[in-house]
Structure 1
Amino acid sequence: MKKIIKVVIATSSLIIFSTALTPVSNAAPNKSLDKINCKNTKAKGHTAKIIDPPEIKGPFKNKTFTFITNCGDVVIEADGKSAPITVTALSALAAGGFFDKTLCHRLTIENIYVLQCGDPTATGSGGPNFTYRDENLPTPSENNYPAGVVAMANSGQNTNGSQFFIVYADTSLPPSYTIWGKVTKGLEIVQMVAKSGVMDGKKDGSPKQKIGIEKVKVR
């Protein structure tokens, strides 16, 4: 399996500093979440596009990613200076339409609070035809992946590809996931998806509220 953070969730010994966290479903009601209207989406699992690995060449600068979804825009300020390899790779994938019409396939709502996206196959094992190394890893501490942070999912050290996760409530994880950006607009959309829950009443799986990435703009 590739590009997922399953090991963190499935291995209880790795879930650290989680007892004090408050799931979105148990937090104080946020009236703004009720105002979010999601449209139907044609996004679905499909074969990933082949995108050539980009050349990693400076100068590196911060970029803005706008993920246009059926529930509204999620804007991420990408830290191109601290995570230049990751931001360069994701920029190339976005420019090639890799993320277009893809689903955010995974939601976790207990102990770890993330929405995972970026896999065209929607299986949790899809990604591009290249990988790249970790960078900009946080220190091992409580809530080292705070709400709003965007980080890469992986299947082990230096196996980054296209899958990433958006943290919607403060979360503690092993410092193994490259932090490449922060949500500056639209975090409430992710929180609304989380509030809607997971299919079949599970704590980890496909979100009940389908959220599809229609297109990604990078500037």
Structure 2
Amino acid sequence: MGILSPTLAARDVKRTIEFYRDTLGFKLGICFPDINNPEYADLSKDGMSLMFLPAQSLGIGQDEKLGVGVDLYLQIDGDIDEYYQELKGKGVAILLDIKDEPYGIRDFTIEDVDGYKLTFNQTSQAAKVCMSCGMPMTKPEEFGGGNEENIYCVHCTNTDGTLKSQEEVFAGMVDFMMRMRNLDRVQAEIAAKNHMANMPAWSGKA
């Protein structure tokens, strides 16, 4: 499956590098032409990568505000609560405090030096995850058959809570990929197959 690496405008690429590397804990990759006069830089963390170019080189004027309407959703490894406290201790601008969302995600939102919003997240420890599709389950109605002991979600089960056939779950996953990721059917089928291969209910099954 492909990887999305956004390219963002920065007023001062050197300052951006220092913020992401020294404050947020990102790793600096390529920096061109050099660290003291960067015209391009990419930084990564936990498999995610962001690329930065000078705003001026993109035709963005000094009076134009950066980051308007941009909220990057970044899933991280490690302990998210420790990471939150670390950033808070460093004086990072916290826009939304850490919390458990009703859809099974624990997250918090910060603002970077140019006004971009970054929402760091991971699956909440309070949430159970469907062993068939990976969907977080936090409410009774999200569990198969309304039974909170069920290891499968309502989307992957019949009305009595039993697991649907692999073909039925696959069809539902393809539809989800097409709607939520805007993929065509061929791409959605490939994505669904790869995703389900990593799910405990289906791993090792053709």
TM-score, normalised by the number of residues in structure 2: 0.23
Instruction: Give the helix-richer structure, 1 or 2.
Output: 2
Higher RCO (CA < 8 A, seq sep 6+): 1
TM-score, normalised by the number of residues in structure 1: 0.22
> Which structure has the larger Rg over C-alpha atoms?
2
